[in-house]
Structure 1
Amino acid sequence: MKCKIACCSALLILMLCLSPFLLKDVYGREMPPPVVTVLVVEDQQVNPAETYVGRVEAIQAVDLRARVQGYLEAVKFREGAMVWTGDVLYVIEQAPYEADLAEERAKVDEARASLKDAQQYLKRLRAVQSGGVSATDVETATNKELRAKAVLEEAKANVEQARIELGYTTIKAPIDGRIGRTTFTKGNFVGPESGSLARIVQLDPIRVVYAISENQLESLNPSSNTAKTSAVKKCPPVFMIQMPGGAMYPLKGDLDFIDNQVDPNTGTIAVRAVFKNPNGFLLPGAYVTVLVKCENGSRTPVVPQSAVQIDRKSRYVFVVDDENRVHERRIETGSAIEADWVVTSGLSAGERVIVQGVQKVTPGQIVKTVNKGEEAAN
């Protein structure tokens, strides 16, 4: 029995001593390098567009208001029609204001007559002053003449005010544009407290307002001397509009305004582009998609979206060098073109990136590569 136990113990010790050698083939064997699909990066002629949500705004908009009160005698426009500067739109009853003007003109004539009497009386006093007219009488007559002059000037001012108020009974279009619905129709009593009678909005040209981030500001501001703005000077941005239904607006716009401060709540900056709108197709208040792109395009590296990974820091790709070693490369991307990303920095034409099998690799690892498009042959 003791001999059997001793033999078992010796066999166990021998197995423990040989176990590293016995397991080496299982765990120590070198695994073959993973097979990945790579794509050689190429520069492509691209003209990607940055897209933003924009809102259409009228450059000018006017609310028509009554400046005098009275009954509406006429509404001289068709709702929704185009009106032009100087067009008569409303007429408020004029008879009371014409009567006021006539009354004030009569007061002017009366004041002129009173002034003439005062001047003649003063002239007579001065002519006979040496014959016994007192200085007090002359002074009183002089003051009477001055008061008559003041009354005449006041009467003239009242005539002008009456003429202005009569003019206010005719409400004209102050700008060219499309007029909306009328709040009041013929026969209604209106006045300064009535609020807006109708609204005119200028349609041509018209502007679109949208917001960009601080990082995108340089791409629109060619006045600074950064690398991005140097590129902007060579290839100025073009502004286009996509309608909600997907159709493209046929006319291009021009940069009109960049705000002078960043909104602290959103971290964005307001930008305005102006578009010609001869047919009135763009209406204030509408939301559209603003597309901003380079006028002529440029040659830029483009990679499939499947090759681009993202983490908390940024986007990155796995690059395979000439020795088939994997390297992690941080990149910056621009716009998406179908299933590809435009790479703005971090990659150059001729480099190989992994497009399939990224889950198999880690930086520094050796891989076996298959060119994209040759997978079936292998």
Structure 2
Amino acid sequence: MKGKTKILIIVVTVIITLLVVARLFVSVSSQGPKGGKNFGQIKNFVNVTVVGTKVKRGNIQKYITLSGDIRGISEAQVFADVPGKIAKVSVIEGQYVTKDQPLMYVDRSLVGYQYNLSPVRSPISGRVGSISVSEGQSISQSTPLALVVDDRIVEVQLLLPESYYTKIKKGSVAIVEVPSLNNEKIQGYVYSSDIVIDRGTRTLKVRVRVNNPNGKLISGMYVDVKIPIETALNTTYVPATSIREVENKTFVYVLSETNVNNEKLYNVSLRSVSTGVSDGDNISVSGVKEGEIVVSLGAEYLKDGIVVRAILQ
């Protein structure tokens, strides 16, 4: 019996608390700004607060993001001229070497025959990317011994969808983002693109090059590359969240400051606009002027002709 009484007391307490909170909410909502003005005295006032952002002017670029692997613009597998055993390895991975510098030596001696050690030379200048053999190992002329990479300039080969073929321009700036370097962004450029489309994948190869003077980008490293495909120059733009669509027409809510009973409030007007290039965060528009204020957050609560509070960014 005591248990039932305790439960009943808890239920009654919760109901009373909810009634008090509801009463307070109704009381606050029925007041105007600052809680001291009568809501009914402010014509068309709606008790909501929106976020307003000024219309800006600048350049907006739309990008396509593709992924690929870093490689040196010049990479060379190293092979021996003669079969035998690796007698000596003279370099280490990561070491810079010049063209024709000996990397290792091969002993091609046979039973009853002695030969001088045969040097294995680097075919290009660059860094030793990898060494695939060790001293004492038997090799043939087809055994890969090492990889030398000229990585002062590196390249990313990307597969571009056919639909973007006409939008990629040689020399365009490309942003290379490297996940393994804490998403560091490095500027590169579009070096070239194929003029043949792969019929199986409906893509073509695009090559982006990046200067790599400190060698932080290494062959095989995975990267994401952003390439501009559309640009709007010196355009007015607004946050993409400002755009509203009604019956296939595009609008924004424009705020104009007004003073009501010594309160700074904002009139809301619905404005038709035309949209253009979007970078995902912002979008170019015509129909508004630089410096005007548009609603970037909270527009779903609005309609033309009302008065609201606003926080300006």
TM-score past 0.5 threshold = yes
Counterparts of residues 196-235 of structure 1 (less than 5 Å)? 196-221=144-169
Matched-pair identity in %: 21
Structure-to-structure mapping, 1:114-129, within 5 angstroms? none
Shift of 1:206: 0.9
Match of 2:250 in 1: 317
* Cα distance in 1 for residues equivalent to 2:96 and 2:136: 24
Distance 1:175 1:288, change over 3 A: same
Report the CA distance between 1:325 and its aligned residue: 8.8
SS state at 1:203 partner? strand
Contact 2:44 2:306 in 1 (8 A): no
Change in CA separation of 1:353 and 1:369 when aligned onto 2, cut-off 3 Å: farther
1 CA distance for matches of 2:157 and 2:139? Answer: 36
Quick one: structure 1 residues 318 and 94, their matched pair in 2 at CA, closer, same or farther if it must change by over 3 Å?
same
3-state SS of the aligned residue for 1:288?
strand
- Structure 1, unmatched stretches of 5+, are 1-31, 101-165, 223-235, 362-366
Would you say the 8 A contact 2:192–2:206 is kept in 1?
A: yes
CA contact (8 A) 1:335 1:342 kept: yes
C-alpha displacement of 1:257: 0.9
320, 325, 334: which one aligns with 2:278: 334
SS of residue paired to 2:131: coil
Letter in 2 for 1:248: K
Cα deviation code 1:11-32 (max 9, x no counterpart): xxxxxxxxxxxxxxxxxxxxx9
Alignment of 1:48-87 (within 5 A): 48=61, 50=63, 52=65, 53-87=67-101
Cα pair 2:100 2:122 within 8 Å, conserved: yes
Distance in 1 between residues matched to 2:307 and 2:125, nearest whole Å: 66
**Deviations along 1:325-349, whole A, 9 cap, x unmatched?**
968766343213xxx4222xx6344
Give the number of equivalent residue pairs.
Answer: 245
Q: Where do 1:136-147 residues align within 5 Å? A: none
Q: Indicate which of 195, 200, 214 corresponds to 1:279.
A: 214
The answer for the alignment partner of 2:128 in structure 1 is: 179
Q: 1:271 to 1:309 in 2, by over 3 A?
A: farther
Tell me by how many angstroms 1:219 deviates. Answer: 3.8
In the alignment, the residues of structure 1 paired with residue 149 and residue 252 of structure 2 have an alpha-carbon distance, to the nearest angstrom, of 56
Given the superposition, is the C-alpha separation of residues 326 and 269 from structure 1 closer, same or farther in structure 2, using an over 3 Å criterion?
farther
Q: Please report the TM-score for the alignment, with normalisation by the length of structure 1.
A: 0.51
Structure number with the higher strand fraction is: 2
Q: Give CA deviations for 1:263-298 in whole Å, capped at 9, x if unaligned.
A: 45555443212122122111122122324469x993
C-alpha distance in 1 between matches for 2:117 and 2:79: 10
In the alignment, structure 1 residue 247 sits paired with structure 2 residue 247: no
2:286 equivalent in structure 1: 347
Cα distance 1:370–1:34, how it changes in 2: closer, same or farther (>3 A)? Answer: closer
Evaluate the alpha carbon distance shift between residue 215 and residue 305 of structure 1 in structure 2; reply closer, same or farther with a 3 A threshold. same
Counterpart code for 2:236: P
Cα deviation 1:141-166 (Å, max 9, x = unaligned): xxxxxxxxxxxxxxxxxxxxxxxxx9
Greater relative contact order structure (CA < 8 Å, 6+ sep)? 1
Instruction: State the Cα distance separating 1:189 from its structure 2 match.
Output: 2.3
What code does the residue aligned with 1:90 have? Answer: M
Which structure shows the bigger proportion of residues in helix conformation? 1
Deviations 1:86-110 (A, max 9, x none): 10112222566xx79xxxxxxxxxx
Distance 1:333 1:297 in 2: 6
Displacement of 1:199 after TM fit?
Answer: 1.5
- The alpha-carbon distance between structure 1 residues 273 and 168, as it changes in their structure 2 partners (threshold 3 A), is farther
Q: Is the 8 A contact 1:89 1:173 kept in 2?
A: yes
Q: CA deviation at 1:319?
A: 4.9
